[in-house]
Amino acid sequence: MLESAKKHLRIYQKFFLMYFKTILVYKTDFLLGVVNQVFSFVSSLALIALIFTQIDYINGWSFYELVIVYGIGRMVIYGFHLFCFNIVFLGEAYIINGKLDRLFLRPLNILFQVFASRVNFHNLSDILASTIMVLYASYQIQVSVITLPNILYLLMAIPSAIMVVAAVILVFATMGFWIGPTKSLVNLFWKFRRFGRFPYGIYSLPLRVFFVTAMPIMFVSFFPASFILNRPEWVEYQALTLFIGPLLFLLAYRFWLYGLSKYSSTGS
């Protein structure tokens, strides 16, 4: 068991390094990605800025505070894209096109192979830019945001949030075993992200419940941000953020294993 884990870790390291080298090869792609990210970044910030030309606070949240919410959300999403990009393609590329079979033939965990087979270093620039944005916005706020407890919290909350996203996408991908291409569902999930950029409090109760359970995007940006911005109203959720990632991912993984066993018994 331990030997196997060590082996997987070693192999992941090798993959990681190898994909890092590929950035140097695909320079144009990398730059194009950066350009696209810059515009996406700028246009979202522009939107928040435009909204704040109308008022100074939404539901008690200021411009820079919402920038921090946005920034943390971006760090999580692009962190997800960095490590877990391939599970977005699980439906089409693997299950439908039969690439999945190949993974059975290697002496490694199947889902692990999907993760490891793509490390999207393109997204490093985005994560960096988002971090700078959060730092800058924190500096603009009078209350000190960059404190040791906050940093420690984020170091746990962000990976957990990444796992939340991975869990949701994995569930959608696994559904592909039964209902075919689920790319549109995944795209729909990305659309829900936008809701997480605005204060939890503006939404009606049913929506709030929805965004904490079925589509747990509030854990992706809002709750972690609310912790470092000293908002005690959501303290239970802030604590939950630390555990919900691993928990949801474990459940999603179970579902994935079930899907795999069905694949083996009924074929594609």
Partner 1 sequence: MNLRKYFGFSRVSFRESAVYRVDVLTSLISSGLFLVLYYFVWSAIASAGELNSSLGEIMIYFVIGQVVTNTVFVNVEKFVGERIRRGTIVNELKRPIGLFSQAYFDQLGSIVFNFVSKSLPIALLGFYIVDFALPSLYNLIIFSLSLFLGFNLVFLFSFSTSMLIFWTKVEWSVRGTRNHIQKILSGTLFPLFLLPDYLKPFFNLLPFQAMVDGPIRIFMGLGLEQSVMVLLNQIVWCLIFLVVSRLSWRKAKNKLTVQGG
Partner 2 sequence: MTLIKAENLSKNFRIYQRGDGIKGYLKSFIKREYEEVEAVQDLDLEIEEGEMIGYIGSNGAGKSTTVKMLTGILEPSSGKIEVNGRNPHKQRKKNAMDIGVVFGQKTQLWWDLPVRESFKLLKEIYEVNKEDYEERIDEFDEVLQLSDFWDQPVRKLSLGQKMRCELAAAFLHHPKIVYLDEPTIGLDVAVKERIRDFIKKMNRQENITVMLTTHDIGDIEDLCERVVVLDKGKKIYDGQLDSLVNRFTSRRLIMDIRNGEKFDLEMDGINEVERKDGHVEIVFDREIISASDLMREILSQYDVLDFQIKEPNIESVVKKVYNEGLED
Site for partner 2, rule CB under 8 A: 4, 7, 10-11, 14-15, 18-19, 21-22, 25, 98-99, 101-102, 104-109, 117, 179-180, 261, 264-267
Under the binding rule (CB under 8 A), the answer on residue 47 touching partner 1 is yes
Options 164-172, 182-190, 217-225, 254-262: segment touching partner 1 (CB under 8 A): 182-190
Q: C-alpha distances in angstroms, 133 versus 98, 171, 252, 257?
A: 42, 32, 32, 39
Phi and psi (nearest 5°) for 221? -130, -45
Torsion angle, alpha carbons of 221, 224, 225, 228, to 10: -170
Q: Annotate each residue in 191-230 with x if it binds partner 1 (CB under 8 A) or - if it does not, as one string.
A: xx-xx--xx-xxxx--x-----------------------
For partner 2, the closer CB: 8 or 193: 8
The residue whose two tokens read 């993959």 is: 15
Closest approach of partner 1 to the CB of residue 254, in Å: 28
Q: How many residues bind partner 1 (CB under 8 A)?
A: 35
Closest approach of partner 1 to the CB of residue 47, in Å: 5
Positions 54 through 113 that interact with partner 1 (CB under 8 A): 54-59
SS3 of the chain: the string is CHHHHHHHHHHHHHHHHHHHHHHHHCHHHHHHHHHHHHHHHHHHHHHHHHHCCCCCCECCECHHHHHHHHHHHHHHHHHHHHHHHHHHHHHHHHHHCCHHHHHHCCCCCHHHHHHHCCCCHHHHHHHHHHHHHHHHHHHHCCCCCCCHHHHHHHHHHHHHHHHHHHHHHHHHHHHHHHHCCCHHHHHHHHHHHHHHHCCHHHCCHHHHHHCCCCCCHHHCCHHHHHHHCCCHHHHHHHHHHHHHHHHHHHHHHHHHHHHHHHHHHHCC
Selection from partner 2, partner 1, none that 151 binds (CB < 5 to 8 A by kind) is none
Selection from partner 2, partner 1, none that 206 binds (CB < 5 to 8 A by kind) is none
Closest approach of partner 2 to the CB of residue 265, in Å: 5
Under the binding rule (CB under 8 A), the answer on residue 184 touching partner 1 is yes
For partner 1, the closer CB: 49 or 146: 49
Closest approach of partner 2 to the CB of residue 90, in Å: 16
Among 32, 235, 250, 251, binds partner 1 (CB under 8 A): 32
Under the binding rule (CB under 8 A), the answer on residue 253 touching partner 1 is no
Residues that bind partner 1 (CB under 8 A): 28-29, 32-33, 35-36, 39-40, 42-43, 46-47, 50-51, 53-59, 184, 187-188, 191-192, 194-195, 198-199, 201-204, 207
